[in-house]
Amino acid sequence: MGAKEDKSRDDTGPSHRSGESMNSEKFGAAILLGSIMLAVSLLGASWAVSQSVYRATGRLAAITLDLTERGDARPAPSAAPRGRRPDPAKRYEIDLGGAPALGPASAPVTLVEWSDFQCPFCSRVWPTVKRVREEYGDQVRVVFKHLPLPMHSKAPGAHAAAEAAHRQGRFWAMHDKIFDDPAAMGPDQYTVWAEEVGLDTDQFDSDSQSPEVKARVDADMAQAMELGVSGTPSFFINGRFLSGAQPYESFQRMIDEELREDS
Tell me the pLDDT tens digit for each residue of 91-104.
Answer: 999 999 899 999 99
Together in a domain, 11 and 109:
no
Give the pLDDT score at 262.
81
Give Cβ neighbours of residue 193 (< 8 Å, ≥ 6 apart).
161, 174, 177, 178
Strands, sheet with 101-102, edge to edge from the N-terminal-most edge strand: 101-102, 140-146, 109-115, 234-237, 240-243
With contact defined as beta carbons under 8 Å apart, do 244 and 128 qualify?
no
Give the pLDDT score at 35.
54
Give the pLDDT score at 122.
97
Together in a domain, 46 and 145:
no
In this structure, the number of other CB atoms found within 10 A of the CB of residue 152 comes to 18
Together in a domain, 105 and 62:
no
Q: How far apart are CA 5 and CA 1, in angstroms?
A: 6
12 φ, ψ (degrees, to nearest 5):
-70, -45
Give the pLDDT score at 66.
37
Q: Is 75 a domain residue?
A: no
Together in a domain, 222 and 104:
yes
Residues of the chain with pLDDT under 70: 1-83
Number of domains in the chain: 2
Together in a domain, 164 and 48:
no
Parent domain of 12: 1-70
Give the pLDDT score at 37.
52
Q: How far apart are CA 178 and CA 123, in angstroms?
A: 9
Please state the pTM of the whole predicted model: 0.68
In this structure, the number of other CB atoms found within 10 A of the CB of residue 21 comes to 11
CA distances, 158 to each of 10, 26, 124 (Å): 92, 72, 17
Give the pLDDT score at 84.
80
Together in a domain, 33 and 149:
no
Q: 23, 50, 70: which is the final residue of a domain?
A: 70
Together in a domain, 47 and 106:
no
